[in-house]
Structure 1
Amino acid sequence: MTITTHRTAEEIGRTPLGPRPLPDLGDTRSVPLPDVVDRVLGSGLRVLAVHRPSVPMVELRLRVPFADPDPAPDATPGHPAVAELLSSTLLTGTASRDRVTIDDELAAVGADLGVSVDPERLVVGGSGLASGLPELLAVLGDVLGAASHPDTEVARERERLVDRIAVARAQPRSIAREALQRKRFGDHPITREMPRAEDVSAVTAEQVRALQAAALVPRGAILTLVGDIDPDAAIARVEEALGGWASGTEAHRLSAPPALAPGDLLLVHRPGSVQSQLRLTAPALPRHDPRYAALQLANLVFGGYFSSRWMENIREDKGYTYGAHSGPEFVPGGAVLGVETDVASDVTAAALLETRYELGRMTAVPPTAAEIDAARAYAVGSLLISLDTQGGLASTLSALAAEGLDVEWLRGSPGRLQAVTAEQVAAAALEFFAPSRFTGVVVGDVDVIGPGVRALGGVTGP
């Protein structure tokens, strides 16, 4: 009889000469993705359909350009207020379905739909059983073509939205975001991410319905379907279900904001705050730029993931913050780089000093080969994970399509990351992380943080 004994993982991983060496990770040169059927319907709606049968579900993403057609700063009530109420009441009823009927029909096929809006786009997202796609599309087509935005529903959502805005505007992160956007882009419509409560209070149901008729149109919109579907059959169902959604006008696209200019940080007073929000920003590159992969790796080395230089400094070494992050934000016509962290008031100046130090170190001490290899492995691995689900793939394809990129660009991302040299990463670090390229805001109690922050120089404000 042979007697076997249990060995621990540590015992299995060791030999008489020491630990077993781990094999090197192989290079991932492309992402294994299914084909995308890409078709523009007669209405002008572009449909992307993908067969991804990992689970018997389908993910849906509808992206409609939804910029303010009249972006005058003194427009009353503002477009953001009407747009927010439109998104809140889009699923509350049509001529043939009330709110309960819509909810029941979606629930019957295990589906859900949600609506969001920002200065650039309106997005309808959701999922459901693949077998229920016809029912899901029937509801979607009805609300897109005939949402009634009942007076009672608009009134109810208007009251809720006013309350939510009051709460949101008191949050430090909201204050910092609004201040950063205005510092970057002035009065451009891209800064109007949250409507004013007084504008929301002035919106009528008639204005919501008028905006739907004028701006929620298919020409220029992108519908993405990913799941256990036949792409050609799914597109045929889209054409049938959304046939009543038509318009002769093009969806309103947001104009490119002004170029980001470097300059002093703006100190924003938030009385009584025990924390400060540091938000630095500089120009970056859009995804289609040949240097984007090098910038992507340089950003990871600086502050794009947990093992970055900046995180190691102000979190692990100094203990100034629980988290810090840097990364690109894509805007019409380009991209900006964001550098953000929240710290206690008494270490605000010290955290800003270390942040500037790490930016400078990126230009003076280029990323090492080991840092680049670790960032490369993280970038490829996180990309593969993000695309592993139907929802992740649907969201990514929708965002890329809006930028004029397709699945082939996505497939080639690992290869581009693997091909980047240390010299290219160093060049990107030198160009995009130089402290002189940045501007931004510091939000906090000026009476507490002002003297220390001002002493560092390059800061204006109260």
Structure 2
Amino acid sequence: MTTATHRSAEQIGRTPAGPRPLPALGVTREVPLPDVTGTTLANGLRVLVARRASVPMVELRLRVPFADPAPGSGHPAIAELLSETLLTATATRDRVAIDDELAAVGADLGASVDPERLLIAGSGLADGLATILDVLADVLTGATHPDHEVARERERLVERIAVARAQPRTIAREALQRVRFGDHPITAEMPTAEAVTAVTAERVRATHAASLVPRGSTLTLVGDVDPAAAVAAVERALGSWTSDRTALELSAPPYPVPGELVLVHRPGSVQSQLRLSGPAVPRDDPAYAALQLANLVFGGYFSSRWMENIREDKGYTYGAHSGPEFIPGGAVLGVDTDVASDVTAAALLETRYELGRLCAVPPTAEEIDAARSYAVGSLLISLDNQGGLASTIAGLASVGLDLDWLRGHPARLAAVTVDEVADAALRFFAPTGFSGVVVGDAEVIGPRVRALGGIAP
């Protein structure tokens, strides 16, 4: 009997002649995108339909701009309870009837909300589209938000908020948002428990009537459907959803101002959260492709410089990530990682070092080519299924773009030069261009972190 001997990854990757050669990268395929049929109904609802017949399903995304009309009025708490109770009852269906009708066509619908929009998303059998739209129309025009359902969800939401606000990632996110955007409504990603407790079912129903409206909203359908027939089905089902109001878009927040990092004290924490942020550019900016490649080289994927440094070489973290976050009117750049308390200062030092190194030692042609291949490949993967395509179409539509932008993006990535990436690195990744937060036990991490400088008093 032969006993198997464990071989390390390095041993597996080598032959007697040396390291195993890596296969050459294949030819990048074109992004396989269907045509999109777009129309605006008489009630102001924009409808986008794309046929993708890979499976006999249809994906649905209804995006309703849902900004706070009067900051300080408790809208974030009301919006959360509205989304939680939207699918619980209508004038003609209770929760069980809604679930049963959707289940009969293999469908599901769910609602979520954030400071920008309310989203109703789901999927089902393509043959059941008429049923899905009928239920959706009933919910949009006749949801009753029963008192007992609002009361139950109010209790649940208060509990979830209490749990979430004890989590270090939530603490770091809320602190970062305040540093970046001050008191702009975009920071209200989670309401307070007190605000939720004050919400009544009457206020939920009033907000539904006033804010959940078709004009300015967009419905996206992707699947095994005929576009013309799908648009006609939407018009039949949702034509009676009307309002003289227009859905309210969130205003553009101020761009982050470079400055010192804020040290947020979390007593007893054994980990620290590093969150840095600076200005970026949106997708339609001429510099976006170069920014995307510079970001990948820095920290946008596993083979990035920052990841190689603080994870593979130093062992400070399990993961580190950087990338653009799109906001109304633009984008911001985020640099995020979590580390043990005893290496917080060291991790911050290496992070600043890699930011500076990207400016002083710009990405090489080899690094850029690897990042370019990853960018196109990940784009292909994200669009490989109906759900991913539906979300992408809806997301692009919300910022005034369409699939033509996506079709042209691989060519834009291919055209980016080494010098353009170097310019993007200098413009967006200079350490002095960032602000942000360090969350942790200030008594443990404070002395060494402050010794590095750049920390607010």
TM-score (norm 1): 0.94
Aligned to 2:37: 37
Task: Tell me whether 1:99 sits opposite 2:95 in the alignment.
Answer: yes
Question: AA paired with 1:108?
Answer: A
Structure-to-structure mapping, 1:69-218, within 5 angstroms? 69-71=69-71, 74-75=72-73, 78-218=74-214
Contact 2:264 2:440 in 1 (8 A): yes
Kindly indicate whether residue 424 of structure 2 is the aligned counterpart of residue 431 of structure 1: no
Change (3 A) 1:22 1:351: closer
Q: Distance in 1 between matches of 2:440 and 2:336?
A: 14
Pick closer, same or farther for the CA change 1:282–1:117 going to 2, 3 Å: same
Which one-letter code corresponds to 2:376 in the other structure?
A: V
SS at match of 1:460: coil
Percent identity of the aligned residues?
Answer: 75
Alignment of 1:46-445 (within 5 A): 46-71=46-71, 74-75=72-73, 78-445=74-441
Deviations 1:27-54 (A, max 9, x none): 44x4121100011111111111011000
Measure, in 1, the Cα distance between the counterparts of 2:190 and 2:22: 54
What is the root-mean-square deviation in Å for CA atoms of aligned residues? 1.4
Which 5+ residue runs of structure 2 have no aligned equivalent?
Answer: 1-14
CA offset digits 1:100-135 (Å, max 9, x no partner): 100000110000011100000000000000001000
User: Could you tell me which residue of structure 1 aligns to residue 6 of structure 2?
Assistant: none
8 Å contact from structure 1 (residues 27, 418) kept in 2: no
CA distance in 2, matches of 1:221, 1:421: 39
Q: C-alpha separation between the residues in 2 aligned to 1:317 and 1:397? A: 39
Taking the aligned partners of 2:223 and 2:298, their CA distance within structure 1 comes to: 37
* Unaligned stretches of 5+ residues in structure 1: 1-13
Q: Measure, in 1, the Cα distance between the counterparts of 2:347 and 2:379.
A: 30
The TM-score with structure 2 as length reference comes to 0.95
Q: Which amino acid aligns with 1:39?
A: T
Report what 2:26 is aligned to: 25
Aligned partner letter, 1:193: E
1:20, CA displacement in angstroms?
Answer: 8.4
Residue 293 of structure 1: CA displacement? 0.5
Asked if 2 retains the 8 angstrom alpha-carbon contact of 1:321 and 1:342, the reply is yes
Deviations 1:304-339 (A, max 9, x none): 000000000000000000000000000001100000
Asked if the contact 1:59–1:226 (Cα under 8 Å) also holds between the matched residues in 2, the reply is yes
- Name the amino acid aligned to 1:51: R
2: distance between equivalents of 1:268 and 1:138? 49
3-state SS in 1 of match to 2:39: strand
* Counterpart-to-counterpart distance in 1, 2:24 and 2:422: 28
SS in structure 1 of the partner of residue 368 of structure 2: helix
Does structure 2 conserve the Cα–Cα contact (< 8 Å) formed by 1:314 and 1:354?
yes
Residue pair 2:255, 2:332 contacting (<8 A) in 1 also: no
Q: How many residues align?
A: 441
Aligned 8 A contact 1:359 1:435 in 2: yes
State the SS of the aligned residue for 2:59: strand
Distance 2:22 2:88 in 1: 60
